[in-house]
Structure 1
Amino acid sequence: MNNELTFVSWNVNGLRACVTKGFLDHFHSYDADFFCLQEIKLQEGQIELDLGPEYKLFWNYAQKKGYSGTAIFTKHEPISVHYGIEDNEEPEGRIITLEYESFFLITVYTPNSKRDLSRLDYRLEWEQRFASYVTELKSKKAVIICGDLNVAHLDIDVKNAKSNIGNSGFTAEERACMSALQKQGFVDSFRHLYPELEDRFTWWSFMAKVRERNIGWRIDYFLVSEQLQNHIIEATIEDHVMGSDHCPVTLKLAIDVS
């Protein structure tokens, strides 16, 4: 019989700042099996977190101070841990992969192409390498990908689709990368359950009244390889949770960790 596992993913936009805004209360309220973070914006030794003895903490720090970085806090000891895509690369700390008997869990912070699209070419090259990496893992066992993928895939995933066409995070090229990943057999868990649900977003600009008026983008995801799609119990967008310009997203799966 499968167990029910709870996964949470949150771009905290600076973990130290988020801790001052109630992060620990939110963390403990979820009591998640896996709590994945993006954009932690810190270096080793810059924070002390007491999450309780049941949690193991894995960090991938960016070389640049106050920038990027990812983490996973989990109750389950992995078989292996891998940082980045290839070994000894990924200076921006964007990926952590934990391996378990029945699946790989990947937290990822996809590069932003920047407002002027000056980093779009780099982003697209990175997307190719990432797609190859996760597709190779998928050939071995089930894969769960979570994080800030920095793209609103469908028109329904951004408040004002027409006026945002071509903007960073909503270019044809970035959206095509997400489409290609789904064609490779990765399922958007939220849209799998709620294909037509509108006005559900995970990121809002810091501009005045934008979040109050829910003028947002859905750019944070849980993607699962197709063999897990029938194991999805629930996928939520926790847009009531404050503390970052992103909100957490969650996934509940009927799956064994071992």
Structure 2
Amino acid sequence: MAAFNVNGIRAAVRRGFDSWLAASNADVVCLQEVRAPLEKIPPEAFAGYHLAYHEGDQPGRAGVAILSRSEPSAVRMGQYSVSGGMLRRKSVSYADELRPLDDMV
């Protein structure tokens, strides 16, 4: 499993993200700050992975993605008000696992 802030997925792809992903052999990759609508991202950027994606509510800001080799049996998204701002959550579950993957915060 790998998780990191890509600070803009389009910029990350220009810097070689797709090559890193192919070489990483990670089963699950969690990305934050993707900052782009899905239709603006080259399809090869996530080749070989199932994608759970939310571009965020404000263009050019926030956004999360969960890439996984196995297809999730469920994808849940939520947004909650907290003191000082908003908390966004995306989680995925897998039917063949003993328990669901814990919520990503």
Counterpart position of 2:57: 63
Counterpart-to-counterpart distance in 2, 1:66 and 1:94: 16
Counterpart position of 2:69: 75
TM-score (norm 1): 0.34
TM-score (norm 2): 0.79
Counterpart position of 2:20: 26
The residue identity in structure 2 corresponding to 1:17 is A
Unmatched segments (≥5 aa) in structure 1? 1-6, 87-91, 109-258
Counterpart position of 2:39: 45
Counterpart-to-counterpart distance in 2, 1:44 and 1:24: 15
| Secondary structure of the corresponding residue to residue 97 of structure 1 | strand
Distance change (3 Å), C-alpha of 1:38 and 1:71: same
Is 1:13 aligned to 2:7, yes or no? Answer: yes
| Secondary structure of the corresponding residue to residue 57 of structure 1 | strand
Unmatched segments (≥5 aa) in structure 2? 81-85
Counterpart position of 2:83: none
Report the count of equivalent residues.
96
Is 1:95 aligned to 2:89, yes or no? Answer: yes
Counterpart position of 1:107: 104
Counterpart position of 2:29: 35
The residue identity in structure 1 corresponding to 2:43 is L
Counterpart-to-counterpart distance in 2, 1:40 and 1:99: 21
Give 1:85 deviation, angstroms: 4.7
Kindly indicate which of the two structures has a greater share of residues assigned to strand: 2
Give 1:44 deviation, angstroms: 3.0
* Contact residue 7 and residue 32 of structure 2 kept, 8 A: yes
Could you list the per-position Cα deviations for residues 52-107 of structure 1 after superposition, in whole angstroms to 9, with x for gaps in the alignment?
3x411110121210000000111111221101256xxxxx7932100123222433
Q: Percent identity?
A: 31
Structure label with greater radius of gyration: 1
Distance change (3 Å), C-alpha of 1:43 and 1:49: same
Give 1:28 deviation, angstroms: 1.4
Q: Write out the 4+ residue segments of structure 1 that deviate beyond 4 Å after TM superposition.
A: none
